[in-house]
Amino acid sequence: MNKVLLIFGCFLLFGCVGKVEDANSEQTKGINDGETVINYTGIQDAFPIAHDKVEIYFPPSNLDPLKVTYIINYDGAIAPITVPGRTLVPDYRGFLRYTVTGLNINEQYIFNVQAKDDKGQQSVNDAFKSVTTYSNQTANFTGIGSIKNVSGGASKNSLLIEWPAAERTGGYIPEDSDVSKYEVVLINSDTATPVAFDDTSFSAPTRIVNYVDGKKISQQVNGLLPGTTYYVRVRGIHHGFSKYSSDPSYFYEKNNSYLSATTLSDSVGDIQVDLDSFEVTTPSNSTGKTSLDLSWATGIGAIDHYRIYYKQNGTGEAWSTYKNSRDDICNGEETTDPAYYCKQVTYEDSKSKLVELEPYTSYEVYLIMCLDSLCSPGKSIIYNSPSVYRTSPPLVSFSGITEINNPRYHWALNEIYLSYEPVDLASGVIDGMLIEVKGRSSGEPYIDTFINFPDGNNTTSLNPSTLDFTNGTEVSIRGIDINSTEEYCFALLPYVYVGDVVTPNRDSEVVSCIVPQVMTPTYEDFTGISSLYFDSSNNSAAISWTPPEEGVYDRYVVFMKTTAGTFSFSDAVNGDNDYLRFEAEENALGITIPFIPAGTYYFGALTYLYQEDKYSEFNNSIQTLVVE
């Protein structure tokens, strides 16, 4: 947190520039509305600060700041300016300040301020101030923006001052009204008040002046006194002033906004820090087995560096004792107690990483803010660290088996296929994936068994293919009893090595089961004959089809009905004498039947699996051929 107090002011001892007159006469250019029920003295001072701006000052009303609104009138205003009281803060003299903008160059204005309550009742006073804006154009600049304390040793003697950039209208060649430099003035509050901002009789260390290039929007001012409050003001000096500064009637903008801030000391009590911000996390990827990530909120103050102390839990001296007997030098293994290790990081760091740790091991980790190079107990602050942290990253997120598919190929009818989604390596760690077959009441295995254990010991006749858990989506299992009526159940389990022990993760275990079957193509997979072409030159019929995408088969069979009547696949596959049978290889896309005599014929096609004597489901694609 920054020790910054917002204050605005204009200074009674300044040599005011522009023309200011007391206009409390019979001439009145303001507008007064409402009933006269509020006693308010009105405007106190008004000062021109630019060619188009005037600062006016007025005392706070006796009304609640949350309920009062100040009404600012001036001649030429389209409507009065209304300013909620809650938005204004008194300056060091107790006056409120408001800057009126958008005025005309070198023009006289008369200002009046009234107070209005939340019921609409308004004061009517006859206090007026007459002001003339500058006759030359100045930079358009609003003044100081913020002040920040810096970290490190510089915080005792430095402040970082920031401001919004002044408006620029020129390009490569600046306009006369563009800022050429900023004037930054600091006043030591122990020896002077803001009235000394322009009093050149004061010099450092009471009054410090820096001139900053117009392209910058901040300046770190050094050489300040520790633990000291400074008032700070920033003004913009435009290019034209460098040409005409000898003219006493030519001015640069003279806003009177200022802030105050206090430099820090090297006392422990002056450090600003959230001691509960220290966090230790285990990386979710494989590096989490040998590393820990640390983060914290940096302190504000005269900080020299940070130290991180760590050791395996349960080893060495207790931290409550050791924290007061640490080595002066932080550089790895401690000599006072070799169980402890120390890592030093800069005062600017807010995170670090401990590496080369032992996997799956608990560590104590402590963070210390050091105010001197030796980090002595009286010059250090220890962050809160209530927990023990373990190099045990989470196991990967894995959804398990998504589907089990039956045999696909006629040469591997004892093979099924387990489908899965690849693991998300960013979600955790994994050393491998186990395939577990659940125990069966008849047939192997009789107990839950891993069939791809890393030691290669598989006591079953079930043989898996290589499982690629990072890029693969399927693993096959060969050796299935295709004639069994009892289901096979499987689980895929990610595992890690803890030491030399394979440790599977069953937290998200999914068990999937199947009763294996040899599935031939359905009628949707294989729709039968797609075309029949008759060649009259040799009385041949060319029959074609589209191969199925699913189902097991090793050949195609075309049935030709040679007699009149309805075509029946049931009669054809059972050897009815009215049907002739023609076979084609599994890769064929058609067949040609030659030398067909005159007559009417009916054709249909199915797939066939010889080993199981199974046809595809019957389809409705029956083709008729008339040969004359």
The whole-chain average pLDDT of the chain stands at 91
Q: Is the pLDDT of residue 597 over 80?
A: yes
| pLDDT at site 508 | 81
Q: How many Cα atoms are found within 13 Å in the side-chain-facing hemisphere of 93?
A: 16
Q: How confident is the model at residue 427 (pLDDT cuts 50, 70, 90)?
A: confident
Amino acid at 90: P
Assigned domain for 137 exists = no
**In this structure, is the dihedral angle defined by the CA atoms of residues 590, 593, 594 and 600, taken in order, positive or negative?**
negative
Q: How confident is the model at residue 117 (pLDDT cuts 50, 70, 90)?
A: very high
Q: Is the pLDDT of residue 512 over 80?
A: yes
Assigned domain for 274 exists = no
| pLDDT at site 265 | 79
Q: Which two tokens stand for residue 79?
A: 């409507």
Contact 394, 284 (CB under 8 A): yes
Q: How confident is the model at residue 271 (pLDDT cuts 50, 70, 90)?
A: confident
Q: How many Cα atoms are found within 13 Å in the side-chain-facing hemisphere of 434?
A: 27
| pLDDT at site 457 | 87
Assigned domain for 355 exists = yes
Over residues 454-476, the mean pLDDT reads 93
Which residues is 280 bridged to in the sheet?
A: 294
Assigned domain for 272 exists = no
Q: How confident is the model at residue 34 (pLDDT cuts 50, 70, 90)?
A: very low
Assigned domain for 364 exists = yes
| pLDDT at site 475 | 97
Over residues 513-532, the mean pLDDT reads 97
Q: Is the pLDDT of residue 155 over 90?
A: no
Q: 360 with 406, same domain?
A: no
Domain coverage including residue 557: 529-627
- Among residues 103, 132, 161, the one where a domain terminates is 132
- Among residues 76, 109, 132, the one where a domain terminates is 132
Q: Which two tokens stand for residue 354?
A: 């401990």
- Among residues 265, 297, 316, the one where a domain terminates is 265
Which residues is 34 bridged to in the sheet?
A: none
Look-up of token digits 């914290």: 296
Over residues 421-446, the mean pLDDT reads 92
Assigned domain for 10 exists = no
Distance of alpha carbon 35 from its chain centroid, rounded?
A: 56
Over residues 616-627, the mean pLDDT reads 97
Assigned domain for 6 exists = no
**CATH number for position 128:** 2.60.40.10
Cα–Cα distance, 2 to 155 (Å, whole number): 11
**Which pLDDT tens digit goes with each residue over 417-426?**
999 999 988 8
Q: 217 with 303, same domain?
A: no
Cα–Cα distance, 352 to 365 (Å, whole number): 12
| pLDDT at site 507 | 87
Q: 151 with 261, same domain?
A: yes
Q: 385 with 284, same domain?
A: yes
| pLDDT at site 322 | 96
Q: 418 with 508, same domain?
A: yes
Residues 6 or more apart whose CB falls under 8 angstroms from that of 191 comprise 206
| pLDDT at site 390 | 94
Rg (CA), the chain: 45
Q: Is the pLDDT of residue 19 over 70?
A: no
Q: 127 with 36, same domain?
A: yes
Q: How confident is the model at residue 171 (pLDDT cuts 50, 70, 90)?
A: confident
Contact 292, 282 (CB under 8 A): yes
In the three-class reduction of DSSP (H, G, I as helix; E, B as strand; rest coil), residue 28 is classed as coil
Contact 365, 385 (CB under 8 A): yes
Over residues 298-323, the mean pLDDT reads 93
Q: 508 with 428, same domain?
A: yes
Q: 218 with 294, same domain?
A: no
Over residues 118-132, the mean pLDDT reads 95
Q: 90 with 200, same domain?
A: no
Q: 384 with 414, same domain?
A: no
Q: 502 with 407, same domain?
A: yes
Domain count, the chain: 5
Q: 86 with 158, same domain?
A: no
Model pTM? 0.55
Assigned domain for 36 exists = yes
